[in-house]
Amino acid sequence: MKADPQQAAAAPAAPAPATAIRRGPADLTLSFVNDATVRFTAAAAGDAEWLLADRLAGLAAFNALPIETNPLYTTYVDLRNAHLDEVRPYGTAPSVADDAAGAPLPDGAAAFAEVCENRVTALAMSPEARAGGLILETLETTRARDPKLLRELLEGGCALPENDKLAQMTRALWSAGLLLRIPDGLRLEKPVVLRHVVGTPGTAVIARTIISVGRDAEVSVLEEQVSSSTAPSGPSDPQAFFAGTTEVRIDAGSSLSFAGLQDLSLRQIAFQHRSAVLGKAASVRWALAQLGSRVIRSRIDNTLEGDGSTVEQAEIVFGSADQLFDLTSYTRHTGRDTTGNLLSKGALADKSRVYMKGLATIDHTAHGTDSYLGEFGMLLSRQARSVAIPSLEIDQPDCRRVAHASSVGPIDETQLFYLESRGLSPEEARKLIVLGYLEPVVARVPLESARERLRELLEAKWEARVVAPPAAAVA
């Protein structure tokens, strides 16, 4: 870097040149994670003693843990683009807008919760859902309504992974919280929509979402994480930070279809922790689309405890610019005859990168497991990068199937040729192939309107890539 002579002349007595501190790939400064902030957050929320203790236990774990505890993945941590020194959490529980309960439901939804920054702007339910006994409330409400339930749901870090530094940070400092409870036997046809709108520069939103599905129930959820209008966009804006959990417990015989759409801005950093613990014959279907954020670090923990339980997980990434998608998925089979079917797909333009780290663990007790793990990358530019680590740990030979597969390649020339022979321009053909490649997740999004919007977003992202390819990406 050249020194600016004018500046040098203006400040001759400067003690030392203000060079940026060199940051390692795992360096992350979160100056607000400390005892004072934890106590402030707890006091603001009026936490009971056990909850303060729980937060402090989270803080202690945060301080003790390295950024990545799994030695398999330590080389693939890169948080250099996350500049979080200046961000500050709201620290107080979100206020609920007066008309939140009367907010209009999105078309075809059974219930709707929307949290904009630190304000709950919608918390509404259809009459059918209400009649069925569905509960959708803030954890503030749960605290007042049933403090014992709150303790059951949260104490001990609940399903948050003990060895994850960032999950423990959320445990220590969460202030926004939602509870979705599906009572025994309720089968909701229409989806529940949960939306987080975040992104005011310099802020941190730290939120927990607890989903508890009773026995023989069925529900689908659409969770959206999107940018607020105040989200930072200029290069000089401070970044905004979002840390969110989805902690799911599904009791015997129940199923949850969960679609997640993350479309934050490129000045936002997001950490997601999703976990599901499954009872007997329970099932969860994750369909997750990762489009936004400068750096997104996501971790999913599936625990197949119940005999005959099933996880179907499909995650897509469409990266551009210098986005980094750091995706980890742990699936642990402990019950008998469980099924894990996990698929990750990344399409990467410009200088974007994806790390797809997956580990399927088959415990000694897990007779009759069927496990498949697939991680696939499609590189659309010379500078894109895909890392896949589809790992297996198998302690029980009596399995129906254990396999994993991975591939990385450019757009298939034969497919291109075929489409061009049908009259499409090369550009149209490429677009069609890429969107088709990501379609498996799009098709699983429950609401027609959300599906359409996701397709539009993907298309827009494709167009943006085409309009302004980075100079060096032209081969």
Partner 1 sequence: MASSAEIVSSEYQFGFHDEVEYLEETKAGLTRDTVEEISRFKGEPQWMLDFRLRAYAHFLSRPMPTWGGELANIDMSKIVYYRKPSQGEEKSWDDVPDKIKKTFERLGIPEAERKFLAGVGAQYDSEVVYHSVREELSKIGVVFMGTDQGLKEYPELFKKYFATVVPPEDNKFAALNSAVWSGGSFVYVPKGVEVPLPLQAYFRINAENTGQFERTLIIVDEGAKVHYIEGCTAPIYTTDALHAAVVEVIALPGSKVRYTTIQNWSNDVYNLVTKRAHAHANSTVEWIDANTGSKLTMKYPSIWLRGEGATAEVISVAVAGKGQHQDTGAKAIHLAPNTRSRIISKSISKDGGRTTYRGQLKVVPGATGVVASVRCDALLLDEGSRSDTYPYIDIQEDDTTMTHEATVGKISQDQVFYLMSRGLTENEATNLVVQGFLEVFTKELPMEYAIEFNRLVKLEMEGSLG
Report the residue number, 40 or 372, with the smaller CB distance to partner 1.
372
CB of 160 to partner 1, least distance (A): 24
The residue (of 52 and 408) whose beta carbon lies closer to partner 1 is 408
Answer yes or no: are the C-beta atoms of 359 and 330 closer than 8 Å.
yes
Binding-site ranges for partner 1 (CB under 8 A): 71-72, 364, 375, 377, 379-399, 401-410, 475
Smaller CB distance to partner 1: residue 323 or 386? 386
- Nearest approach, Cβ of residue 179 and partner 1 (Å): 38
Residues 73, 328: contact at Cβ < 8 Å? yes
- Give least dist CB 379 to partner 1, A: 4
Q: How far is the CB of 80 from partner 1 (least distance, A)?
A: 17
User: Nearest distance from residue 214's CB to partner 1, in Å?
Assistant: 35
CB of 355 to partner 1, least distance (A): 9
Nearest distance from residue 76's CB to partner 1, in Å? 8
Whole-number minimum distance, CB 314 to partner 1, in Å?
A: 19
Rounded Cα distance, 210 and 373, in Å:
26
Cα 414 to Cα 376, 410, 422: the distances in Å are 18, 11, 13
The runs of H, that is alpha helices, within 18-146 are 35-45, 49-64, 127-131, 139-145
- Which amino acid does the sequence have at 205? V
What is the closest distance, in whole angstroms, from the C-beta atom of residue 401 to partner 1 in the complex? 8
Q: Of the two residues 156 and 410, which places its CB atom closer to partner 1 in the complex? A: 410
Decide: helix, strand or coil at residue 390.
strand
Tell me whether residue 249 or residue 351 sits nearer to partner 1 (CB atom): 351
125, 271, 444 from 55: Cα distances, Å: 31, 18, 36
Q: Is 435 helix (H, G, I), strand (E, B) or coil?
A: helix
Cα angle for residues 119, 120, 125 (degrees, 5° grid): 170
Backbone phi, psi, residue 21, to 5°: -70, 135
Choice between 116 and 384, CB closer to partner 1: 384
N- to C-terminal Cα separation, the chain: 28
Residue 256 vs 388, nearer CB to partner 1: 388
Smallest gap from Cβ 377 to partner 1, in A, equals: 6
Report d(CA 421, CA 201) in Å as an integer: 49
- Closest to partner 1 by CB, 50 vs 372, is 372
Nearer to partner 1 by C-beta: 443 or 468? Answer: 468
Report which of 355, 380, 344 is spatially closest to residue 461, judged by C-alpha positions: 380
Would you say 53 or 72 has its CB closer to partner 1? Answer: 72
Q: How far apart are CA 244 and CA 73, in angstroms?
A: 22
Closer residue to partner 1, CB minimum distance, 145 or 401: 401
Residues 6+ apart with CB under 8 A from 136: 111, 113, 123, 125, 129, 178, 179, 180, 181, 192
Largest CA distance in the chain: 75
**103 or 408: CB nearest partner 1:** 408
Q: In angstroms, give the least distance from the CB of 283 to partner 1.
A: 23
CB of 149 to partner 1, least distance (A): 40
Instruction: Calculate the alpha carbon distances from 52 to 48, 93, 164, 354 in Å.
Output: 7, 15, 20, 37
Tokens representing residue 125 in the block: 């339910």
Quote the CA–CA distance of 245 and 209 in Å, as a whole number: 6
Are β-strands 369-379 and 176-182 bridged in parallel, bridged antiparallel, or unpaired? unpaired
- Tell which residue, 348, 357, 413, 418, has the closest CA to residue 385: 348
